[in-house]
Structure 1
Amino acid sequence: MFNFGGQEMIVIFLIVLLLFGAKKLPELARGVGKSMGEFKKARNDFENEIKG
């Protein structure tokens, strides 16, 4: 879907760093990680419901 190279990732990281600041990045990353975990869990639960 998205095909990001190294340079694009660096630019995105710098933009996020400017927007949120260095102190907020660990908190932001933790929140994104938890959200992705919850999404994967919900997706797996949904797939299990469909299968049987």
Structure 2
Amino acid sequence: MPIGPLELVIVLIITLLVLGPKRLPDAGRSLGRAMKEFKSAVGGDGDRDERDELPPEAPRNEQAPDR
């Protein structure tokens, strides 16, 4: 059963009544961020480790310095 334009208008009106015009933009932003995070997690981008983002370490000198 597809969602038609009438159903979308009804959902928008109910959302506007529940949230109000002041909180509606914040709710839209939060929904957009959540969708972006979900898409990146499903796409496999969320599996990256923090170590992947760090630059490689410089090689260490195994000899002790002379004093």
Tell me the TM-score range normalised by the shorter chain. Answer: 0.7 to 0.9
Q: Secondary structure at the match of 2:11?
A: helix
TM-score by length of 2: 0.63
Q: Percent identity?
A: 35
Structure number with higher helix proportion: 1
TM-score by length of 1: 0.79
2: CA distance, partners of 1:3 / 1:35:
24
Equivalent residues, number: 46
Runs of 4+ that moved beyond 6 A: none
Structure index of larger Rg: 2
Structure with higher RCO (Cα < 8 A, 6+ apart) = 1
CA RMSD of aligned residues (A): 1.8
Alignment gaps of 5+ in structure 2: 48-67
